[in-house]
Structure 1
Amino acid sequence: MDRYGESGGTPPAGLTGQARRARRRERLLSTALALFTTRGFAATSIERICGAAHVSIRAFYEEFESREALLIALHNDIARAGMEAALVVLGDPAVGSASTRARVTALCRAYIATVTADPAATRVAFVEVIGAGPAVEEHRLLWRSLWTDFFMGEADRAVGRGEAVPRDYTLAVVALIGAINELVAHWARNHAALSRDRLTDEMIHHVLATLGTPAYEGK
């Protein structure tokens, strides 16, 4: 190992220490993503990640306090991307004034397109995180609470427009988020045989059904 915590000699000339560290972190993340996808999180040790990434164990702990922290970072990347995709849709003036049905359709299409863009990342974020330890579960619950607030806002909007029945949607939204997570996890396990379009259509159906909004005009 060289003094930068990497094997194989000195880093490329011209890179600052910060840039070298960013490259090292990215290599750990991409290597872990590949290993967690092929071997599974439970069967992948820090030593194996470091060996495949050509990074010392000491350098690993300079970036992540644990294997779970690395998994959380991978999950956070895709969770944040999915939320940002939804918020971009909300920022579209046309969507802002659209019916609940049209709004939900746009949101679901943007979300699914984003979180399934890389099937390996999808599998890690929706499959490998399950049962990965208390810290990972706490992180998942944080994102679940964010999505609960998000969908509660959508429910309130639909009620205000007269497109949903006024009621307490809290438990329904909790069930909805669990269903969406399981749908995407199922797609991650079976994406070779299951199209994104079918997954998207099913998510749209679940969201509209939760709100009590007909899936088609005139229904």
Structure 2
Amino acid sequence: MSAEQRLADRRERLMTAAYTLYAKPGFAATTIERLCAEARISNRAFYECFGSQEELLQEVHERCVEESLAVVTKAVQEAPNTLEGRATAGIRAYIKFATADWRRARIMHVEVRRSGEVLALSRQRAVDSFAGLVQEAVADFPQAAPLKRRLVALGVVGALQELLIEWLLTDDQPEIDELVDVAVHIFVRSLGNPATD
């Protein structure tokens, strides 16, 4: 491999190690030494790939967000052209994708909060992106109440986050379909068509 390919390979191995270790035991409990041992690279090589653990965490989080946005966007585009059809398709796609790998769900919904300021900007960008996607998905439909769509979209995104935290952390774990049903109910009641409400 060329030097460039070796660097790319090390970066990817570190990303994979971080994906698991930052999910559990968590960002605060993971040392560079442990990351490097998991990735099978030297500690010195870490700094050839990333400037800090914070930078690595940001990249892992942003990859999770980008992959999730792509899945949800595709689902909404292929959904029936109704408010409930788009809401159900987008929410189901997001919840199924997030819960398909517990590490993704933990990084996006638990570690993003536990990391404090490290992911504050990255988290805000993610929330803005998902809220924008919600607004775009419902732009063609009449609104049940004269509320600012951006604020309602932010509320829906927040509700989804809390539902996934409940799924991750509670002993009495709710079923995935139950999470979808509750999230769709909140979404449709918040932004529903007055003709069907």
What is the TM-score when the length of structure 2 is the normalising length?
0.86
Report deviation, 1:186.
2.1
Query: In 1, Cα distance between the equivalents of 2:91 and 2:183?
Result: 7
Report deviation, 1:29.
1.6
Pairwise mapping of residues 60-209 of structure 1 onto structure 2 (< 5 A)?
60-92=46-78, 95=79, 98-159=81-142, 164-190=144-170, 193-209=173-189
Q: Give the letter for the 2:55 counterpart.
A: A
- The answer on whether the counterparts of 1:74 and 1:125 sit within 8 Å (CA) in structure 2 is no
Report deviation, 1:85.
1.2
Instruction: Work out the number of aligned pairs and report it.
Output: 197
Greater gyration radius: 1
Unaligned runs of 5+ in 2: none
- The answer on whether the counterparts of 1:31 and 1:53 sit within 8 Å (CA) in structure 2 is yes
- The answer on whether the counterparts of 1:28 and 1:50 sit within 8 Å (CA) in structure 2 is yes
Report deviation, 1:174.
1.9
Unaligned runs of 5+ in 1: 1-14
Report deviation, 1:166.
4.2
Report deviation, 1:102.
1.2
What is the TM-score when the length of structure 1 is the normalising length?
0.78
Report deviation, 1:87.
1.4
Report deviation, 1:136.
0.9
Report deviation, 1:148.
2.1
% same residue: 31
| Structure holding more helix per residue | 2
Q: 1:41 aligns with which of 27, 41, 55?
A: 27
Query: In 2, Cα distance between the equivalents of 1:72 and 1:49?
Result: 15
